Chains A and B, each alone.
Chain A
Amino acid sequence: MTVAVLAVAPVVLLTLFVGVRGVAAMRTTSDFLVASRQVSPLLNSAAVSGEYLSAASFLGIAGMMVKDGPGALWYPVGFTAGYVAMLVLVAAPMRRSGALTVPDFAEARLASTVLRKLTAVVVLLIAVLYLVPQFRTAGLVLSAVSATPYWVGVVVAGGVISVTLALGGMRAATYVQAVQFCLKLLLFTVPAVWLTVHAGAEVRQQALQPVEFERFEERTRVEFRIGVTFRITEPTRIHRPGGGARVLHPGTHQVRAGRTLVFPAGEPVPHVGSGGRPGGERWQRPLLDVADAGHPLFGTWAVLIATMFGTMGLPHVVVRFHTTPDGAAARRTAALTVGLLSVFYLFPGVYGALGRVLLPRLYLSGGTDTVVVALPARVDTGWAGTLFTVLLTGGAFAAFMATSLGLLLVLAGAVSHDLAPGGLGRLRGTALLAAAVVILLALFAAPLETNILVTWAFTLAAATFCPLLVLGIWWWRLTAAGAVSGVLLGLLGSSAGIVVTLFGPELSGWWAILLAQPAPWVVPLAFGTMVLVSLRSGFSPRARSAMLRLHLDQRTTPDSGR
């Protein structure tokens, strides 16, 4: 409990403090949504990075590495590549459009109210899909480092960010995210170095020579925080914590959430899923075999397509570019962000490699997402271990909050600026209401895999907003009809794939990979639909100048003044 309070209290207080300071400076919708467009490139790029380094980056990559091997290191490559593409294709022209939100841009460029409403609905979907796993991980991490129930972390994270946002809007969000970027960078890099040094030469050596986790080397206690199905191939002895042993026969076994099993030393390690155990074959060649389909190269490409094109279309990232004074500053923001993210992403691999040696049991309990915060206590049982647990938990909490702030902001913007326009009061109210809804959703989301929801959000962004922005900015022949049909097909295609993966029958081979990670077909489909339908529909005589305007480096960039 002390660990949780020590770690979370400073981050929460800092966030609220910055939020309260922003109250006085806010008068209009523009203040709330884009901080009056007065944010400098350096501050903004820190805020973009702070917002972008979510639970997935702070905890998820290391966790995936423990589970799936070093192939997980391709995720950050796709994330960062998205910003390079953003710098080239989106940043400056997008800012020059003078829009406040992505639906605003769609309407300004293509003069279609239908498109505006449709894109607002997509923003809503992406924001909810992305927010739920943030809150979920907040709950899981707090319960992992102390004895708090799952709902405490969810409610604390949700409550703090909604109040901060309702009070301080984008200006508060900007400062909070920028401060939290520095915090996260510090709280991620310093413990990584300490862990590497403190783990000792033997562990370092083992980390670099992966051996499959076949048998428990010591008596291992596994707490199943979520329900897990595992498969065993030879009789395995287990103990209950209260005493009493039994032998599990070969076959599949289900463990309900909340159970604890103790495996004696020397017993074989059960298999979870079909992807092999930590340290196995996957550690020899770092690629991502999506859905265990047996096509690792294609799987890696599919993930890279989803993350790279998805980043370009994530509405909470795009809206950050609107807070800069002009197009050139937006472009500088994107370039600086590439640098800042590149520094951070040098480190997740360290946690993953150490986690495989020291905490392979997390693979069994489905708790690999907590590997980062669980490592210090494994390396050092004294005060130093506790201190670094506190630091890493604080950093992880900063990660959820910075990302959630941005997402809640676009959620509030989509509802009360794009769908049902209202003033500042309604925006504030919506922020609180939306947070309440997401908290409720997250309370029931504990058994869902973070990865699936985040993949869904990224693929959705890649198949809807990415083609809309890229074609809207670089192809004047794009029409409203083309954009609407492309966005609709992208939405349906990516959602169908994920829904089948979640609720449909077990698939294998190409079908499994193309449905679990639909980006490789759904992104070209959305682009193609937009082009074909646009070519067959009539264009407005002002379309060409509407597009060219986005490329004109005016000294004073227009503000829609809404």
Chain B
Amino acid sequence: MSEGKRVPVMSPQTRMARVRRVSRTHWSAPPLGTAELERAAQLYRAQRFHGAITLSGLVLLVFGLPLAQVYLPVVSTLRVAGIPASWLIPVLVPFPAMVLLAWRQLRRAERLERHR
């Protein structure tokens, strides 16, 4: 037992991994095939189209509500169950609407990927 150096026993993969860990060369993915590229382009265009619709809805909702509070005088006098409507608007309108928007967008995006 006393002769020679003690050598750690490990699989070749582990040894390679340990050596590699320090070196940091830029990792790049293998190039896409023509069919994959075509499919990616189709998905990109479809997702961009549907995404733009959801985003327009979101922008209208989020930036339109403060505008409505300024230009609809009825809002500042109206009360719902005793609570001023102008306090309820930033809470009860945008959150359910955004949940709906998100759900719709998710369904759309997933269906696009399934069908193409």
Contact = CB atoms under 8 A, between A and B. Distances in A.
Nearest to A348: B91
A286 B54 contact: no
Nearest to B29: A558
B62 A78 contact: yes
Say whether chain B's binding surface is mostly helix, strand, loop, or mixed: helix
A85 B26 CA distance: 30
Given A308-B62, A338-B99, A562 B24 contact: yes
Contacts of B109: 92, 331
B27 A335 contact: no
Given A349-B91, A552-B36, A285 B105 contact: no
A466 B27 CA distance: 24
B94 A81 contact: yes
Given A77-B90, A349-B87, A87 B105 contact: yes
A385 interface: no
Interface in B15-52: 21-22, 24, 26-29, 31-32, 36-37, 39-41, 43-44, 47-48, 51
A545 B31 contact: yes
A73 B37 contact: no
Nearest to B30: A558
A70 B27 CA distance: 50
Given A80-B98, A85-B58, A88-B51, A74 B43 contact: no
Contacts of B74: none
A107 B26 contact: yes
B105 A84 contact: yes
B98 A73 contact: no
Nearest to B53: A88
A88 B70 CA distance: 29
B27 A560 contact: yes
Interface string A64-89: 00000010011001101101110111
Q: For chain B, give the interface size range.
A: 35 or more
A6 interface: no
Contacts of A78: 62
A286 B58 contact: no
Contact of B37 (A87, A301, A548): A548
A562 B25 CA distance: 10
Interface in A338-358: 338-339, 342, 345-346, 349, 353
Contacts of A553: 43, 113
Given A287-B66, A334-B102, A562-B24, A84 B54 contact: yes
A301 B62 CA distance: 9
A300 interface: yes
B21 to A, nearest CB: 6
B62 A286 contact: no
Nearest to A81: B62
A353 B84 CA distance: 12
Q: For chain A, give the interface size range.
A: 35 or more
Interface string B75-114: 0100000111011011110111011011101100110010
Contacts of A85: 55, 58
A284 B75 CA distance: 10
Nearest to A340: B99
A237 interface: no
Nearest to B25: A562
A548 B44 contact: yes
Contacts of B105: 84, 87-88, 335
Contacts of B87: 70, 73, 286, 349, 353
Given A73-B87, A551-B47, 7 more contacts: A74-B66, A77-B95, A208-B83, A284-B76, A285-B70, A297-B67, A331-B110
Interface of A: 70, 73-74, 77-78, 80-81, 83-85, 87-89, 92, 98, 107-108, 111, 208, 284-287, 296-297, 300-301, 304, 308, 328, 331-332, 334-335, 338-339, 342, 345-346, 349, 353, 421, 423, 474, 542, 545, 547-549, 551-553, 558, 560-562
28 contacts: A73-B87, A73-B90, A73-B91, A80-B98, A81-B98, A87-B102, A88-B54, A88-B58, A98-B29, A108-B27, A208-B84, A284-B76, A285-B69, A285-B76, A287-B66, A287-B70, A301-B66, A304-B63, A328-B113, A335-B105, A338-B99, A338-B102, A342-B99, A542-B31, A547-B44, A549-B29, A558-B29, A562-B24
The 9 closest A-B pairs by CB, nearest first: A342-B95, A548-B40, A552-B40, A338-B102, A73-B90, A335-B106, A551-B44, A88-B51, A553-B113
